[in-house]
Amino acid sequence: MTSIHLKYLAVNPFDLEWGLAVNSVGRQEIAEHSSYPPANHPTRYLFSPERGRVLNEYQLLYITSGRGSFSCDTLGRERKISVSAGTVIMLFPGEWHNYRPDPETGWTEYWIGFKGTQADTMVEKGFFSKNRPVMKVSFHDDIADCYTKAINIAESQKSGFQQALSGIVCSLLGMVYYYNKNETFMESNTDRMIARAKMIVAEQLFSIDPKSLADQLFVSYSSFRRTFKEYTGFSPAKYILNVKINQAKELLTNSPSEIKEIAFNLGFENTDYFFTVFRRLTGQTPLAYRAETQGRKL
């Protein structure tokens, strides 16, 4: 069994002002039919798989081999969620939880423990939730590399190491969110549908509207709108509008076309409406944007 534990990392008040600080990082391999937690587990984080535990920090655990189970207060202490290789478990401060590898397989786990306002904000805004503590991300070298890099930095603990570690935690959180979201979409073929939708918008920008876009994809508009917004963050209508305005920016900067002509070619009802939408999305009128990007004064 290979085990690396970095325990009791120093966190001073100045580190917390950065918005994120790391308390612990490590990696361990639990062999099949071996005790868990192992005898060399950090005492600060020691717990009994029979009783569970509560931490005062967040933790991200990445399981890269084997399988096991997880449970927590929010989802019900009696409910055991299956955990397989390629899964990330997020632990939340103040939340009772329990997890352990299957004795038949053991597992390899990476973890990093952290706290701070940056993490709190991500949870408050709904990027991570106690209702979704187990996230499938599959196998990615860049995730494992982040843990390895964090272990190396924590071992040396040179000046400013906490700030370097906080950057790695932010990268990890971003990658976990990204891979988990896209893992879900790939399983449902949503990836392909959204790619096709974007291609249709690019090819038919002048005439396309959300309803005809859904029709060309052979899906109901209500279902398409919900899925499209979940995937991109935009409703189909707002996405089309943003693509049009980005195209307008390109034409205003790099073509001699009149603004009225640009508005017409992009399918806007009239120039006044184009001016209104452009200003709402960019904070400038088309005239001001053209002057600024072409280095001219109005």
Secondary element (H or E) of residue 188:
none
Q: Spell out the domain ranges in the chain.
A: 3-187, 190-293
Give 149's Cβ-side CA count (13 Å radius). Answer: 16
How far is the C-alpha of 123 from the C-alpha of 119, rounded, in Å? 6
pLDDT at res. 245 = 95
Q: Classify strands 58-72 and 97-101 as parallel, antiparallel or unpaired.
A: antiparallel
| Weakly modelled stretches of the chain, pLDDT under 50 | 1
Retrieve residue 78's tokens. Answer: 């009696």
CA-only gyration radius of the chain, Å: 25
What is the value of pTM for the model shown? 0.71
How far is the C-alpha of 70 from the C-alpha of 143, rounded, in Å? 21
pLDDT at res. 137 = 93
Q: What is the pLDDT of residues 102-131, one digit of tens each?
A: 999 999 999 999 999 999 999 999 999 999
CATH number of 190-293: 1.10.10.60
**Hey, is 236 helix, strand or coil?**
helix
pLDDT at res. 1 = 46
Does the structural domain 3-187 have CATH classification 2.120.10.30?
Answer: no
Q: What is the pLDDT of residues 182-207, one digit of tens each?
A: 887 776 788 888 889 999 999 898 88
How far is the C-alpha of 219 from the C-alpha of 197, rounded, in Å? 11
Neighbours of 90 (CB within 10 A): 22
